[in-house]
Amino acid sequence: MPVKKKHVHWVDEGEIIKLKIYRNHWYDALMHRLFKTPLEITIDLDKVGSEVWRLINGEDDIKTIGLKLKERLGDEVEPLFPRLVTFVTYLYNGNLIYYKKPDLKDKESL
């Protein structure tokens, strides 16, 4: 089950979501002074990515998120699961989400 990381802030601007990552470690400050790297990174998600971000709640698995996404956006998300898995992988590799295993209670219901 994907879960949003706490260091990622986000702003819902209606149809799209902007992810904001603040770089506030000591080495980020050093890199900023030396190389003028930004201390804040903003990522604008498209309509489908924004909807996926809204659906990531730490309780639903990828399959459930996909079914809800299909229900909300219809054929606009096809091919659904290849796109969803690729996008969630990008979020994971970008250190924006992590995965948690379901609780034992949840496993019994599977």
Per-residue pLDDT tens listing for the chain (110 residues): 999 999 999 999 999 999 999 988 888 889 888 999 898 999 999 999 999 999 999 999 999 999 999 999 999 999 999 999 999 999 999 999 999 987 766 555 55
Instruction: List the domain range (segments joined by +) for residue 18.
Output: 2-109
Confidence at residue 42, expressed as pLDDT on a 0 to 100 scale: 95
Confidence at residue 29, expressed as pLDDT on a 0 to 100 scale: 87
Q: Looking at the 3D structure of the chain, how many domains does it have?
A: 1
Quote the tokens at residue 31: 């890199």
Tell me the DSSP string of the chain.
Answer: -EEE-TTEEEEEETTEEEEEEE--SHHHHHHHHHH---SEEEEE--HHHHHHHHH--SSS-HHHHHHHHHHHHGGGG-SHHHHHHHHHHHHHHTTSEEE-PPPHHHHHH-
d(CA 70, CA 26) in angstroms, rounded, equals 43
Q: What's the pTM value of the predicted model, to 2 decimals? A: 0.84
